[in-house]
């Protein structure tokens, strides 16, 4: 049986670009902070930004919220006939969903640890 796109897949593709991609960029900035000085001078501003107590208190909850939204949004990738960005094959969509759920959960836990450390 061929996997045909439904009319709703156009809207899911747009939602992928408008919701998923910006939140994924927020999580990527936090990953650059976690990598620390190993990325060289390019990550230094991010390391100083997330490393300060005030910004950790303010922005770590935003990263946690972004992680939760990515997990919930990735769960929609398991819906029947749902394809990531409207173009990725179904097997790639399922694999991407599992990958994004694991990445977002790990990032949320790291942000939670960073948030708790800001109060110590």
Which pTM does this prediction carry? 0.80
Domain spans, the chain: 9-117
**3-state secondary structure at position 115:** helix
| C-beta separation of 31 from 107 below 8 A | yes
In angstroms, the CA 75 to CA 120 distance is: 35
Q: What is the pLDDT along the chain (120 residues), one digit of tens a residue?
A: 455 555 566 788 888 888 888 888 888 888 877 777 677 777 777 777 776 777 778 888 888 999 999 999 999 999 888 888 888 888 999 999 999 999 999 999 998 998 898 888
């Amino acid at each position: 049986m061929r996997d045909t796109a439904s009319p709703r897949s156009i809207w899911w593709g747009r939602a992928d670009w408008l919701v998923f991609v910006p939140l994924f960029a927020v999580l990527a900035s936090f990953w650059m902070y976690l990598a620390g000085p190993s990325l060289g001078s390019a990550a230094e501003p991010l390391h100083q930004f997330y490393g300060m107590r005030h910004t950790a208190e303010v922005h770590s909850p935003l990263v946690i919220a972004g992680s939760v939204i990515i997990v919930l949004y990735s769960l929609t990738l398991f819906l029947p006939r749902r394809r990531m960005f409207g173009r990725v094959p179904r097997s790639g969509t399922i694999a991407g969903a599992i990958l994004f759920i694991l990445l977002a959960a790990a990032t949320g836990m790291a942000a939670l640890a960073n948030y708790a450390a800001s109060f110590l």
